Amino acid sequence: VVIGNRGTRVIPTERSAPEVSGFSFMHSTVSSEKPKGVTVREIASEMKRARNGNGKILVVAGPAVVHTGSRDHFSQLIREGYVNLLFAGNALATHDIEESFYGTSLGISMEHGGSSEEGHEHHLRSINRIRRLGSIQNAVDQKVLNSGIMYECVKNQVPFLLAGSIRDDGPLPDVITDTIEAQHKMRELVQGVSFCLMIATTLHSIAVGNLLPASVKVVCVDINPATVTKLADRGTFQTVGLVTDVEPFLRVLLQEINKTG
């Protein structure tokens, strides 16, 4: 708490700024035309370092993780100890559970990629089933939910926070629908986080970026370059941006993690 009107001097965390000419070629910080392999390799090393040390890895994820068929990759990251905390919304959990129950995401079959009969009802039926049980934890304990991201979080005792929004269906009983309450809980949980991986969610990425100190290493993966740009514009300058689809990123990330032991 700072009281008075004389002002406070703030010394921000320094960041490297290599000198370049005004007309440099391919020097934008965010681009879909830059090689991804080196960056993914560095991300894998950072996550390995955090897991083997005293670091705490936070993952902020959107429903595209499920829509793109990346659920198994993400679940493996949880099992191998590379996710210590998960922030998401109602959609990620809902469609993850939908895939567990029906093999679909938004009614689209994850096996053949086509529409399923009455598939538009699947996510609502999934929500209602969990609501009848009272919570995701209860669904796992009663062996109703047996696979997926939320299942792995419960089984591996990874805390998760699901923050609601005005457009949510349901929502699931675990979702915090009060935005202010969700923010307070997020602030409590981010204490001790040393590495943050943001995957395919503009809304939650910017929200969490506003809560993290500049000392936390942040990686934002999104197919939309504007997401990474918005993060930097709102003060999260320590963000490393990767413009790519979620599925190939998580697949290669796991390969690099396993390659480095």
Residue 244: the pLDDT is 92
Q: What is the average pLDDT across 66-86?
A: 98
pLDDT per residue as tens digits for the range 200-240: 999 999 999 999 998 999 999 999 988 888 887 776 777 88
Residue 54: the pLDDT is 84
Q: How confident is the model at residue 19 (pLDDT cuts 50, 70, 90)?
A: low
The two structure tokens encoding residue 120: 């538009």
Whether the CB-CB separation of 62 and 106 falls below 8 Å is answered with: no
Higher-confidence residue of 229 and 248: namely 248
Closest CA to 236 of 260, 208, 255: 208
Return d(Cα 75, Cα 152) in angstroms, integer: 6
Q: What is the average pLDDT across 237-245?
A: 87
Residue 24: the pLDDT is 45
Phi-psi region of 260 (alpha: psi -120 to 50; beta: other; left: phi over 0): alpha
Q: What is the average pLDDT across 54-68?
A: 96
For residue 87, the cross-strand partners are: 60, 161
Q: Taking all residues of the chain, what is their mean pLDDT, rounded to a whole number?
A: 90
Residues 6+ apart with CB under 8 A from 143: none
Residue 1: the pLDDT is 67
Return d(Cα 115, Cα 103) in angstroms, integer: 11
Return d(Cα 97, Cα 74) in angstroms, integer: 14
Whether the CB-CB separation of 77 and 217 falls below 8 Å is answered with: no
Closest CA to 66 of 42, 94, 46, 25: 94
Residue 17: the pLDDT is 54
Residue 28: the pLDDT is 53
- The radius of gyration of the chain from alpha carbons, rounded to an integer in Å, stands at 19
Angle at 231 between CA 228 and CA 233, to 5 degrees: 110
Q: What is the pTM of this model?
A: 0.89
The two structure tokens encoding residue 234: 């709102």
* 42-259: CATH topology: Rossmann fold (3.40.50)
* The residue to which tokens 């995701």 are assigned: 136
Closest CA to 29 of 253, 246, 220, 250: 220
Residue 240: the pLDDT is 87
Residue 23: the pLDDT is 42
For residue 108, the cross-strand partners are: 105, 115
Largest interatomic CA distance in the chain: 67
Residue 261: the pLDDT is 53
pLDDT per residue as tens digits for the range 92-128: 999 999 999 999 999 999 999 999 999 999 999 999 9
Q: How confident is the model at residue 67 (pLDDT cuts 50, 70, 90)?
A: very high
